[in-house]
Amino acid sequence: MARLPIIAIVAAGLAGSTGLLPEQAPARDYLVLVAGDCGSAASRVVRETGGQLLSAQPSSDGQTCVVTVLVQGDGSQRPRKVTVRVPM
């Protein structure tokens, strides 16, 4: 329950310290950073390796995805975990 007050404080801080509604705020250029989607990169790795997706997450550089798949071997081998860094 401690998270709820923290979220409220952060939300109040993000609401804006100017007290102006967006329509009243002076016009500015804004830069919006958006985390990329690793879905298509993960699908491509799964398709190419024939493996089972374990995880897919954006890397810290924001340009690539780290995709981990489990690739089944033939009947005599254990499956192997493969981690690949691919462009988003």
Domain boundaries, the chain: 3-87
Backbone angles phi, psi at 10, to 5 degrees: -65, -45
Segment 46-55 mean pLDDT:
94
Asked if residues 54 and 70 have their Cβ atoms less than 8 Å apart, the reply is yes
> Residue 7 half-sphere exposure, CB side, CA atoms within 13 Å?
4
pTM higher than 0.85, yes or no? no
Report d(CA 55, CA 38) in Å as an integer.
10
Per-residue confidence at 82, pLDDT binned at 50, 70, 90? very high
Residue 37 Ramachandran class (φ > 0 left, ψ -120 to 50 alpha, else beta): beta
* Between 12 and 84, the higher pLDDT residue: 84
Higher pLDDT, 10 or 83: 83
Could you give the CA distance from residue 44 to residue 59 in angstroms, rounded to a whole number?
A: 17
